[in-house]
Amino acid sequence: MTSVGSLATKPLFGLPLAELWFALLFFIFGMFLFLDGFDFGVGVLFATRDDDHEKEQLLAAVGPFWDGNEVWLVVFGGALFAAFPSVYANLFSRYYLLMFAILAALGLRGLAPEMYEERENDRWRTLWGYSFVIGSTVTPFLLGLFVMNWLLGATSLITPVGVLGGLTVLTLTIVDGAAFLGLKTRGALRGEMRTYGIRAAVGYLGGAIITLGAIYVTEPGLRSSFRSPTVVALIILTATLTGIYVVALRKRRYYAAFAATVALVFGFVGLVATLLFPVVDRTAGLTIRDAIISTLPLNLMSIMASVLLPIVLIYFIVLYSAFSGPVDTEGTYG
In this structure, are residues 294 and 21 in contact, taking their beta carbons and an 8 Å threshold? Answer: no
Query: What's the predicted TM-score (pTM) here?
Result: 0.93
* Average pLDDT value for the chain: 91
What is the structure's pLDDT at 5? 64
What is the structure's pLDDT at 165? 96
DSSP letters along 272-294, please?
HHHHHTTEEETTTTEEHHHHSPP
Cα separation, 168 vs 268, whole angstroms: 10
What is the structure's pLDDT at 114? 86
What is the structure's pLDDT at 2? 59
Whole-number Cα distances in Å, 12 to 2, 69, 300: 7, 30, 9
What is the structure's pLDDT at 171? 97
What is the structure's pLDDT at 305? 92
Q: Which residues of the chain have pLDDT under 50?
A: none
Sign of CA dihedral 219, 222, 228, 231: negative
In this structure, are residues 174 and 200 in contact, taking their beta carbons and an 8 Å threshold? Answer: yes
